[in-house]
């Protein structure tokens, strides 16, 4: 494929953000805003927020871009309920990665090296009261794993330490951590480039942990060829249509410098950690680059970028586990309010007894981050908090339907753990009806009447045909009112001809 065929604006963040205007999904603030006020504004506005003049440089900044399932679904050209099937479909398609010459890569329209490359010239704001410093938060790292030659892609926040240094959190197990440790053990720095500002689809790819060349994963999720360009000061290849790239390396000293605290993705602070340091060697960007920030911690987890991305990652992992564990999974929902990961809801159609329990066991083990699993029959809408609360209230007996197990690998960030604990407990809530439960009236959900019955000349004639519910008698006699049916039944009762069965149907005695 020739580079002339590539539309470098199709998957650009700015194009996506501009496409949100007028949709009710974005708020645009044209007035000047200090960096000090950005965090508060983002917390107040659940929509995407596009600030047109931030700080003394009057920079453009966008946040909360993917912080809603509806916006992520838009990015994938689908609806919120069809997001998971669409992501799963795209994961199965393959598209090429196309390297373009540096002169043609929009992300290298401006190249800043040496003293011109300055992290403190970017519109980076303090996100939470106790954060160690302003963080670049929407930073997607690209690094080459020498063992495979593949490019690893993830998200890693960057704590500003100066013009050309930032702290990187590499404590949790991840592919980048493993690649970095292998370099540090040999006393070698690891070249890394961070993309700041790219299409939401690329951001979803970054949070997936799959054993593949993740540049190919970006292409798959775009459902289009991925144009990449080699960085100016290292060998890493990044999307050529991104907004801005921070090139550099993680030095070989290992986990030695203080990083944090930081408002983390479970809604609480993570403390000060010892972590590696990123050294900036170049900034490249589009001439009209749009800088992006990602929301993460606080009380409004349901409206953060990090939770929304975590939701997709969790739902993909859970769905894949369910596909092998049970016959007919119907839907999966990881709640954004639990950080996109701790609380997972599953709807399934049980074909044999015990499948709800198999689903719980499969979901327990498919991700360390999943803690509570709620399994329902397909009639419950798992995307509705109200319906899930109703199912928990009415279909669950704690001594019969609760599965509790402990000793699992867990997330040390979970504040409910005792300090220093490395393992944690998981609970499964089986909210399905007992298998083969023959449709007791007390378990049938009331619906508005549908008036579905063959017609008869009278209520009596209808009952001669067999027992009928009141609504059937209305339909049978074409009643659009019902009260004349009451009167006809009253007459039959007075004549000693009327009876009821245990299902509440009327019948002739």
Ligand X SMILES: Cc1cc2nc3c(=O)[nH]c(=O)nc-3n(C[C@H](O)[C@H](O)[C@H](O)COP(=O)(O)O)c2cc1C
- Tell me the closest approach of the beta carbon of residue 23 to ligand X, in angstroms: 23
User: Where do we find the tokens 């598209």?
Assistant: 95
Task: Classify residue 501 by burial, with Cβ atoms within 10 Å: 0-12, 13-18, 19+.
Answer: exposed
CA-wise closest residue to 445 among 380, 372, 350, 353 = 380
207 part of the interface to ligand X, by CB under 6 A = yes
Of 55 and 154, CB closest to ligand X? 154
Name the minimum Å distance from CB 262 to ligand X: 8
Tokens representing 60 are: 């453009």
Per CB under 6 A, the list member of 53, 70, 78, 174 interacting with ligand X is: 174
Near ligand X by CB under 6 A: residue from 108, 152, 292, 335: 152
CA atoms within 13 A on the CB side of 2: 2
Which is closer to ligand X, CB of 152 or CB of 281? 152
Q: Binding segment for ligand X among 7-15, 172-180, 224-232, 249-257 (CB under 6 A)? A: 172-180
208-227 residues in contact with ligand X (CB under 6 A) are 209
Separation between Cα atoms, residue 27 and residue 315, nearest integer Å: 28
CA–CA distance, 42 with 7 (Å, rounded to integer) = 31
Q: Angle, to 10 degrees, between the axis of helix 200-207 and the axis of helix 214-222?
A: 140
Binding status of residue 169 toward ligand X by CB under 6 A: yes
By beta-carbon distance, which residue lies closest to ligand X? 154
Stretch that binds ligand X, among 5-13, 26-34, 153-161, 366-374 (CB under 6 A): 153-161
Separation CA 122–CA 66 (nearest Å): 21
CB of 171 to ligand X, least distance (A): 7
Q: Which residues pair with 142 in a beta bridge?
A: 153, 193
Binding test (CB under 6 A) with ligand X, winner from 134, 154, 270, 298: 154
Contact 353, 436 (CB under 8 A): yes
Q: Is 342 in the site for ligand X (CB under 6 A)?
A: no
Size of the site for ligand X (CB under 6 A): 18
Name the segment binding ligand X (CB under 6 A); options: 165-173, 186-194, 416-424, 482-490: 165-173
- Give 106 or 298: the residue with its C-beta nearer to ligand X: 298
Q: At its nearest, how many Å lie between ligand X and the CB of residue 210?
A: 8
In whole angstroms, what is the distance from residue 135 CA to residue 127 CA?
7
Residue 172 within binding range of ligand X, rule CB under 6 A = yes
Kind of pairing between the strands at 59-63 and 269-270? unpaired
Task: For the CB of residue 304, give the shortest distance to ligand X in the complex, in Å.
Answer: 9
Pick 170 or 348: Cβ nearer ligand X? 170
Helix (H, G, I), strand (E, B) or coil at 201: helix
Please say which residue, 168 or 453, places its beta carbon nearer to ligand X. Answer: 168
Do residues 44 and 27 make contact, with C-beta atoms less than 8 angstroms apart?
Answer: no
In the window 296-335, what residues touch ligand X (CB under 6 A)? 305-306, 309
What is the three-class DSSP state of 244? strand
**CA–CA dist 27, 50 (Å, integer):** 6
Backbone angles phi, psi at 430, to 5 degrees: -85, 100
State yes or no: residue 176 binds ligand X (CB under 6 A).
yes
Please give the sequence-ordered ranges of beta strands (E in DSSP) within 325-394, or none if there are none. 329-334, 343-348, 372-376
Q: Does the protein bind ligand X through residue 410 (CB under 6 A)?
A: no
C-alpha torsion 308→314→317→321, nearest 10 = -140
Q: How far is the CB of 144 from ligand X (least distance, A)?
A: 12
Instruction: Give min distance, CB of 14 to ligand X, in A.
Output: 19
Q: Judged by CB under 6 A, does residue 175 bind ligand X?
A: yes
Write the interaction track for ligand X spanning residues 86-125; mark x where CB under 6 A is met and - where it is not: ----------------------------------------
Minimum gap (Å) between residue 369 Cβ and ligand X: 9
Measured from the Cβ of residue 90, the count of other Cβ atoms closer than 10 Å reads: 20
Q: Which residues are near ligand X by CB under 6 A?
A: 137, 152, 154-157, 169-170, 172, 174-176, 207, 209, 294, 305-306, 309
């Amino acid at each position: 494929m020739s580079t002339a065929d590539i539309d470098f604006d199709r998957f650009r963040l700015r194009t996506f953000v501009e496409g949100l205007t007028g949709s009710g999904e974005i708020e645009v603030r044209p007035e000047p805003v200090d960096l000090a006020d950005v965090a508060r504004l983002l917390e107040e506005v659940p929509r995407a927020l596009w600030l047109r003049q931030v700080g003394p440089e009057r920079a453009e900044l966008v946040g909360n871009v993917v912080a809603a399932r509806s916006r992520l679904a838009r990015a994938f050209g689908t609806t919120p309920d069809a997001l998971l099937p669409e992501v799963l479909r795209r994961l199965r398609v393959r598209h090429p990665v196309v390297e373009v010459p540096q002169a043609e890569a929009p992300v290298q329209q401006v190249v800043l090296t040496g003293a011109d490359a300055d992290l403190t010239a970017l519109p980076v704001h303090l996100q939470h009261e106790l954060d160690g410093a302003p963080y670049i938060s929407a930073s997607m790292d690209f690094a080459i794993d020498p063992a495979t030659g593949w490019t690893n892609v993830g998200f890693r926040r960057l704590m500003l330490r100066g013009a050309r240094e930032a702290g990187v959190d590499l404590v949790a197990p991840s592919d980048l951590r493993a690649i970095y440790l292998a370099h540090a053990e040999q006393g070698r720095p690891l070249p890394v480039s961070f993309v700041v500002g790219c299409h939401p689809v690329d951001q979803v790819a970054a949070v997936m942990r799959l054993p593949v060349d993740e540049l190919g994963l970006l292409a798959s999720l775009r459902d289009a060829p991925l144009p990449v360009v080699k960085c100016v000061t290292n060998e890493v290849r990044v999307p050529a249509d991104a907004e801005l790239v921070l090139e550099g390396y993680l030095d070989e000293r290992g986990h030695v410098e203080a990083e944090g605290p930081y408002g983390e993705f479970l809604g609480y602070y993570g403390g000060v950690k010892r972590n590696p340091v990123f050294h900036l060697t170049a900034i490249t960007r589009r001439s009209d680059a749009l800088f992006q920030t990602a929301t993460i911690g606080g009380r409004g987890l349901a409206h953060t970028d990090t939770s929304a991305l975590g939701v997709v990652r969790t739902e993909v992992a859970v769905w894949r586990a369910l596909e092998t564990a049970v016959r007919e999974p119907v839907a999966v929902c990881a709640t954004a309010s639990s950080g996109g990961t701790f609380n997972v809801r599953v709807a399934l159609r049980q074909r044999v007894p015990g499948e709800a329990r198999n689903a719980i066991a499969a979901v327990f083990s498919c991700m360390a981050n999943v803690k509570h699993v709620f399994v329902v029959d397909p009639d419950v809408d798992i995307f509705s908090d109200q319906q899930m609360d109703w199912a928990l209230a009415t279909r669950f007996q704690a001594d019969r339907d609760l599965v509790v197990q402990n000793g699992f690998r867990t997330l040390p960030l979970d504040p409910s753990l005792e300090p220093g604990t490395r393992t944690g407990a998981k609970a499964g809530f089986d909210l399905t009806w007992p298998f083969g439960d023959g449709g007791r009236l007390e378990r049938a959900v009331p619906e508005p009447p549908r008036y579905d019955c063959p017609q008869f000349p009278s209520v009596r004639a209808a009952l001669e045909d067999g027992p009928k519910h009141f609504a059937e008698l209305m339909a049978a006699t074409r009643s659009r009112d019902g009260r004349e049916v009451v009167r006809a039944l009253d007459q039959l009762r007075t004549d000693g001809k009327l009876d009821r069965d245990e299902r509440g149907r009327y019948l002739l005695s």
